[in-house]
Structure 1
Amino acid sequence: MSAVERAIEIIGGQTKAAKLLNTKQNIIWYWLNRHCQAPAKYITRISELTNGQVTVDELLADHVKTDKESAA
């Protein structure tokens, strides 16, 4: 499970996360199902919404994993 998946689960689901992040649920769905990462501009806020249960470093690690998979 990616860090963003864990974070969205902790926050309370895609709809709640979208509302708290001032975006739409379908955007969150794309993060989870297409990109497997959250855009960098949302990472700090997502970590805050999980009360630190998912750290900024963990969310950034999703970017590293995706970059390595793309290079392979």
Structure 2
Amino acid sequence: MSAVAKAIEIIGGQTKAAKLLSTKQNIIWYWINRHCQAPAKYIPRISELTNGEVSVNDLLADHQKSNKEDAA
């Protein structure tokens, strides 16, 4: 499970996360199911919404995993 998926689960689901992040639920769905990462500008707020259960570093690690897969 990606860190963003774990974070959204902790926050209370895609709809609630979308509302708290001022975006749409389908955007959150794409983060989880297509990109497996959240855009960098949302990472600090997502971590904050999880009360630190998912750290900024955890969320940034999703980016590193994705970049390695692109390079392979």
TM-score range, shorter chain: over 0.9
Q: Quick check: 1:61 aligned with 2:61? A: yes
Rounded to whole Å, the distance in 2 between the matches of 1:47 and 1:27 is: 18
Deviation at 1:10, TM superposition (A): 0.1
Alignment gaps of 5+ in structure 2: none
The superposition leaves residues 2-34 of structure 1 with CA deviations (integer Å, 9 ceiling, x where unpaired) of 100000000000000000000000000000010
Rounded to whole Å, the distance in 2 between the matches of 1:58 and 1:22 is: 22
Aligned to 2:24: 24
The superposition leaves residues 16-64 of structure 1 with CA deviations (integer Å, 9 ceiling, x where unpaired) of 0000000000000000010000000000000000000000000000000
**Residues 11-50 of structure 1 correspond to what in structure 2 (within 5 A)?**
11-50=11-50
Give the alignment's Cα RMSD to 1 decimal.
0.2
Q: Secondary structure at the match of 2:38?
A: coil
Using structure 1 for the length normalisation, give the TM-score: 0.99
Identical aligned residues as a percent: 82
